[in-house]
Amino acid sequence: MAQTFDICIRGTGIVGKTLALLLARERLKVALLPAPGTGVSAAADVRAYALNTVSRHLLESLRSWPDAEHATAVRSMRVKGDQDGAVHFDAAAQGVEALAWIVDVPALEARLAEAVRYQPQVEMVDSPVPAALTVVCEGRASRTREEFGVDFRVTPYGQHAIATRLQCERGHEQVARQWFLPDGILAFLPLGGSLGNSVAVVWSVLQEQVAPLMTLSPEEFAQKLQVVSQETLGTLALSADRATWPLQLATADRWCGTVPTNDKSPRSWVLAGDAAHNVHPLAGQGLNLGLADAQTLADILHGRDYWRSVADLRLLRSYERKRKAALLPMGLATDGLQQLFSRQEGPLQALRNWGMKGFELSGPLKNFVARQAMGNY
């Protein structure tokens, strides 16, 4: 007898696996299908994500939170402008353990894969299977989204992110550092636990700068970062390859719909994660938004009336409304900052650095923004 599934999740990244585990707790039978042409192997992956308290609690509830070596607590964040503007955030001032945790992507994916492997309600499949609900978690280049006729509205930034890892002469002291510069945004994210001296690098640069930077030798590239970071962590050395990808602001016009069928069984689809939305990485909120998608969808399906199918469009539209409302302020904030710091005019440079200094002294406003970023709404 053929296996039947309640839900087919297309995409086996962090959001897809997290959602599969959440739905399995509802006793739903889940098929998990890798996206076509899934990217780099975990061994070559240099990405790291800043996860907030809400995301940590979610992953801990699924027993998928990495150990301390691969989830470094951020005790402080220091942001510098292109002149003398600066903003500092401290966990102690907020009365919290950490502002965020910098999580090594391969370690997190390995924990999620292990949890999926031992979850009998989740089955890995190698081709699409019939299900009442198809959830598209294939990322920004989703083919299934195109098959469903969704318009993915993209605004290119004319920038690329360059990611790598560094070994540093000085320890990072659990400080996340960010420099807003006239020609890009550089972030050093602490790795390796509380006593570590390695960082994950995310450098957002103009498109025309990508080729020259990627062709530098590892030593030349590390020297470049050392200068741009004002030698804050001393002598730097690359400890991984470099990866790059274009940056964009994007959102799908529709996040759910029906799937035509030849029988009377209702079937629907819904988007989650990067298949539904992209924001600039400068605030480090991309994966937090995707995990919030997974949690919200799982909560809505959990709370449905017993007679409602998981394919009920009223449920899926409720999910879409909630997530679009949550995404809007973050998208506006990251886009506004990117636009402001990409402008080279002297008056604007003076204005934004004046604004940073004013924000540093703003008290309640600064605390509000910090708590929003931590997920404490």
**pLDDT attached to residue 262:** 72
Element containing residue 32 per DSSP (H, E): strand 30-33
Instruction: Tell me if residue 135 falls in helix, strand or coil.
Output: strand
The amino acid that residue 345 corresponds to is E
- The answer, yes or no, to whether residue 24 has pLDDT greater than 70, is yes
Best CA proximity match to 47, nearest among 107, 136, 114: 107
- The answer, yes or no, to whether residue 349 has pLDDT greater than 60, is no
CA–CA dist 316, 212 (Å, integer) = 46
pLDDT band at 229 (very low <50, low <70, confident <90, very high): very high
Q: Report CA dihedral (275, 164, 160, 55) to the nearest 10 degrees.
A: 30
Strand 256-258 to 175-181 pairing: unpaired
Best CA proximity match to 285, nearest among 55, 35, 87, 72: 55
Tens-digit pLDDT profile for residues 90-114: 888 878 889 999 999 999 999 999 9
77 contacts 88 by C-beta, under 8 angstroms: yes
> Looking at residue 302, which CATH number applies to its domain?
3.50.50.60
- The answer, yes or no, to whether residue 369 has pLDDT greater than 80, is no
146 contacts 172 by C-beta, under 8 angstroms: no
- The answer, yes or no, to whether residue 364 has pLDDT greater than 50, is no
For the chain, state the CA radius of gyration.
Answer: 21
CA–CA dist 23, 17 (Å, integer) = 10
**pLDDT attached to residue 54:** 93
- CB-side exposure of 79: number of CA atoms within 13 Å? 19
**pLDDT attached to residue 352:** 54
Best CA proximity match to 85, nearest among 329, 297, 337, 267: 337
How many beta carbons lie within 10 A of that of residue 102, not counting itself? 26
Average pLDDT, the chain: 85
The most confident of the ranges 41-50, 165-174, 336-345 is 165-174
Residue range 352-372: average pLDDT? 47
172 contacts 166 by C-beta, under 8 angstroms: no
Higher pLDDT, 125 or 334: 125
298 contacts 19 by C-beta, under 8 angstroms: yes
- The answer, yes or no, to whether residue 82 has pLDDT greater than 70, is no
Tens-digit pLDDT profile for residues 136-164: 999 999 999 999 999 999 988 888 999 99
Lowest mean pLDDT among 65-74, 109-118, 325-334: 325-334
354-359-365 Cα angle (round to 5): 155
Instruction: Tell me if residue 291 falls in helix, strand or coil.
Output: helix
pLDDT band at 243 (very low <50, low <70, confident <90, very high): very high
Element containing residue 256 per DSSP (H, E): strand 256-258
137 contacts 130 by C-beta, under 8 angstroms: no
Higher pLDDT, 238 or 38: 238
Quick one: CA dihedral 357, 361, 364, 366, positive or negative? positive
pTM exceeding the 0.85 threshold for the entire prediction? yes
- The answer, yes or no, to whether residue 377 has pLDDT greater than 90, is no
CA–CA dist 147, 42 (Å, integer) = 28
**pLDDT attached to residue 357:** 42
The total number of structural domains that make up the chain: 1
- The answer, yes or no, to whether residue 174 has pLDDT greater than 50, is yes
The most confident of the ranges 85-99, 179-193, 231-245, 323-337 is 231-245
For a pLDDT cut of 90, what percent of the chain falls above it? 66
CA–CA dist 48, 241 (Å, integer) = 14
152-322-269 Cα angle (round to 5): 50
Tens-digit pLDDT profile for residues 114-132: 999 999 999 999 999 999 9
78 contacts 86 by C-beta, under 8 angstroms: yes
Lowest mean pLDDT among 48-57, 147-156, 273-282, 361-370: 361-370
Name the token pair of 323: 């997530």
List, as one string, the DSSP characters of 98-109: -SEEEEEHHHHH
Structural domain range at position 97: 5-373
Tens-digit pLDDT profile for residues 184-210: 889 999 999 999 999 999 999 999 999
Tens-digit pLDDT profile for residues 270-303: 999 999 999 877 666 789 999 999 999 999 999 9
- The answer, yes or no, to whether residue 39 has pLDDT greater than 50, is no
**pLDDT attached to residue 342:** 53
140 contacts 274 by C-beta, under 8 angstroms: yes
